Amino acid sequence: MRHINAGLELAPLLEKIAYDAGKQILRVYAQANINAGSKADKSPVTAADLLAHESIVRGLNATFPGVPVVSEEDEASLAWRLPTGCYWLVDPLDGTKEFLNRNGDFTVNIALIENGQATFGMVYAPAHDTFYWGGAGLGAAMREKSVVTVLQGLRSEDEDGDPSGESADANESRSLNEGGAAHLSRLRVVASKSHLNEETQTFIQQLGDVELVQAGSSLKFCTIVRGQADLYPRLGPTCEWDTAAAHAVLEGAGGVVLDIHGQPLHYGKASVLNPWFVAAARAEDARSALRLNAANLTSPQPPAQKPDHD
């Protein structure tokens, strides 16, 4: 098995692979009627999922021969999910529900996993013509149509913990280093566009009078990367391929993804399901939110179940 190292030189290669998959998705998206079947676990699947899967696997195998590809749409490939080694982790169409609802919030997710860590990620939103890429220690960037923006690091604070500044227009997108909420009650919290379960609702309520931002698929992470949200709590089921690519991009922009015990998410676990987690622009905000909700997080998580594919 070949090993490759994460680096920004991966970006143009993965961008091409993601773009080709996106073209397949948009072909189906343009159809008057989109037929959806059901997998064994009752989750929806469309022709777009399968066409994008085939395109990505073909592209990755041609560009990076010898590196295994683990895809949501290939159950046999799950055997390559290991806590050590190097492989690609792919969700060919993240947000099938958003795809079927035709709201544009669906993505192509491609992540490089090295020894249990998501070290580089490419997220492509075909309907928005927007790419996001990056990894921890490598930085992050986005291409929206033809404009490339380098995404900055964590918002800086002074010794008293006050933000260094805020955007003059509260409605304007703020990059991760342009200031932020001094208190959790001022945070912009992103949640699922398609569903919001009781556990996540309770978590958000404990934060106070926050601004709620809605998004679908891995674009929930990307709203933080873009500076349009501060915190994304997910107290519900997700799979590793749902989070890995956007997790890497968020870390590249200086953010964090922590489980409810304050530990980073890992990949290649015995179960493909992620634990509950909080993603944030600032580690301090994630940990503060977890402390505020400590009383609600002491009981065991509900029995594992497959996600709702939002």
**Would you call 80 exposed, middle or buried from its count of C-beta atoms within 10 A (0-12, 13-18, 19+)?**
buried
Whether residue 157 has pLDDT greater than 90: no
Instruction: Write out the residue limits of the CATH 3.30.540.10 domain(s) in the chain.
Output: 10-151
Look at residue 40 in the predicted model and tell me its pLDDT. Answer: 61
CB atoms within 10 A of CB 40: 7
Q: How confident is the model at residue 153 (pLDDT cuts 50, 70, 90)?
A: low
The pLDDT > 90 percentage for the chain reads 74
Query: pLDDT: is 249 or 7 the higher one?
Result: 249
**pLDDT, mean of residues 227-255:** 97
Which of 120, 88, 122, 97 is closest to 45 using CA atoms? Answer: 97
- Distance of alpha carbon 113 from alpha carbon 269, whole angstroms: 12
**pLDDT, mean of residues 278-305:** 84
Identify residue 5 by its one-letter amino acid code. N
Look at residue 225 in the predicted model and tell me its pLDDT. Answer: 97
User: Could you tell me the strand order of the sheet in which 211-215 lies?
Assistant: 211-215, 188-192, 231-234, 277-280, 256-259
CATH class of 10-151: alpha beta
The pLDDT > 70 percentage for the chain reads 83
Whether residue 307 has pLDDT greater than 70: no
Q: How confident is the model at residue 192 (pLDDT cuts 50, 70, 90)?
A: confident
pLDDT digits (tens, 9 = 90+) for 61-73: 999 999 999 999 9
Instruction: Write out the residue limits of the CATH 3.40.190.80 domain(s) in the chain.
Output: 184-296
Which of 301, 72, 123, 103 is closest to 194 using CA atoms? Answer: 103
Q: How confident is the model at residue 221 (pLDDT cuts 50, 70, 90)?
A: very high
CATH number belonging to the domain at 184-296, selected among 3.40.190.80, 3.40.50.1220, 3.40.630.10, 3.40.50.10440: 3.40.190.80
Residue with token string 């609802």: 101
For the whole prediction, is pTM greater than 0.75? Answer: yes
Look at residue 54 in the predicted model and tell me its pLDDT. Answer: 98
pLDDT digits (tens, 9 = 90+) for 70-97: 999 999 999 999 999 999 999 999 999 8
Which of 221, 213, 234 is closest to 276 using CA atoms? Answer: 234
pLDDT digits (tens, 9 = 90+) for 23-58: 999 999 999 889 888 776 657 789 999 999 999 999
**pLDDT, mean of residues 185-210:** 89
Question: What string of DSSP letters covers 244-292?
Answer: HHHHHHHHHTT-EEEETTS-B--SS-SSSBPPPEEEESSHHHHHHHHHH
Which of 271, 274, 273, 290 is closest to 231 using CA atoms? Answer: 290
Q: Please check whether residue 165 is in contact with residue 258, taking contact to mean a CB–CB distance below 8 angstroms.
A: no
Look at residue 172 in the predicted model and tell me its pLDDT. Answer: 36
